[in-house]
Amino acid sequence: MLLIALLCCCLHLLSVLSLLAKFQPTLRSSVLAYGKLSETADRPTSKLSLWISQQTVPKAWFSHFYWIGFLFALWCDLEVGLLLWKHEKGPIVSLLAHFDTPDFANTQPAIICLLSLCLITLHIGRRLYEVNIVQRPSRQARMNITHYFIGIGFYGSMVFAAWLEGAANLGVWESSSQPITLLDTHQLLRPHVIFAIILFAYASWHQYVCHRILANIRMKARPSTSAASSSIYQIPRGDWFERVVCPHYLADILIYVSLCILNRLQNLTLLAGLLWTIINLSVTAGETERWYRKSFGSKYANTFVRGRWIVLPGIY
Ligand SMILES: NC(=O)c1ccc[n+]([C@@H]2O[C@H](COP(=O)([O-])OP(=O)(O)OC[C@H]3O[C@@H](n4cnc5c(N)ncnc54)[C@H](OP(=O)(O)O)[C@@H]3O)[C@@H](O)[C@H]2O)c1
């Protein structure tokens, strides 16, 4: 319960801060923009916002989120597997059993926790593959150090979110003499579970395709002119880019929607993660649209004469 409450509070706080960053001038000019968006971001107006805006790390360090998240997810897979099939408690499970309480940790069946954990491991593993093999991050793109720590914390909390709210059903607070937890595999045939798995696969595929489209732009950029942003950034075309400004963000949101559906919209930590993802990526997508308009002017307007949704078709 304590860890669930802590994670939910942190995620909700981040959602509020993300919204504040859009409207509060100091935050807006210091931490909101990253990567290419810094080119068109508001200039810092105070010494404080200038100092905060200068605390940056390479944006290519996004890969650290996925390295750390993936290793942590594999470790949790191992601990949950040991708990279910051997009744042995690893260090994380032992700490939970000792310091936390089982309240609110029995809302999800064990099999759903296991499936959610597998899906989040797959998601972070695919992102790890993409950032290292598919994507072509630019050397000059940077992000504020706050983004770096938030990114690491976010993926860690989503790995926890996948199984924490069913931790009591997994046997975290049971003694090793109690019978091994039986997995109710019939749960896997429920319509919402099948729908969630299909949505997860569909959104994952489109996110991969969109990242490949962005990477292909980079591969076509001539090395001699790679320092000029006009050559390394172009207007992406194809797949969901025809209808949405940031379709890779839309796919990310749909992936968390699918995990929430899998947990019958009753997993508070996943719901808090989804809310943060929607707010954070909608704010960034809005800035991205502004960046495209400023960077490509009439060329951009003429490319999509019918306009595009920013990130959520039919809504924003
Ligand atoms: N769940 C969350 O809260 C959360 C938060 C942030 C990101 N994410 C996910 O992480 C993924 C990456 O996010 P991001 O913010 O880094 O996306 P991004 O800014 O669109 O960048 C993705 C990659 O495409 C390149 N790129 C972007 N626009 C381009 C253009 N017009 N022409 C050529 N290349 C372009 C970028 O180059 P540079 O290296 O030059 O930037 C980068 O390598 C997304 O799918 C997103 O959903 C999730």
Distance, CA of 43 to CA of 255 (rounded, Å): 34
Q: Is 130 in the pocket of ligand 1 (CB under 6 A)?
A: no
DSSP assigned state of 166 = T
The parts of the chain modelled with pLDDT lower than 70 are 176-182, 221-231
Q: What share of the chain is helix, strand, coil (3-state, %, to 5)?
A: 70, 5, 25
Neighbours of 226 (CB within 10 A): 14
What would the pLDDT profile of 125-163 be if each residue is shown by its tens digit? Answer: 999 999 999 988 888 899 999 999 999 999 999 999 999
Query: What are 277's two structure tokens?
Result: 């993802």
Separation of CA 216 and ligand 1 centre (Å)? 13
Q: What is the structure's pLDDT at 218? A: 84
Q: What is the structure's pLDDT at 182? A: 66
Closest CA to 66 of 137, 139, 2: 137
Closest CA to 156 of 98, 99, 97, 92: 92
Separation of CA 148 and ligand 1 centre (Å)? 14
- Which residue carries 């860690």 as its tokens? 156
Closest CA to 283 of 8, 12, 28, 9: 28
Q: What is the structure's pLDDT at 224? A: 46
Q: Which atom of ligand 1 is closest in space to residue 251's alpha carbon? A: 47
Which residues pair with residue 57 across a beta bridge? 143
What would the pLDDT profile of 81-91 be if each residue is shown by its tens digit? Answer: 999 988 899 99
Closest CA to 158 of 132, 119, 109: 119
Separation of CA 135 and ligand 1 centre (Å)? 9
Q: Is 280 in the pocket of ligand 1 (CB under 6 A)?
A: yes
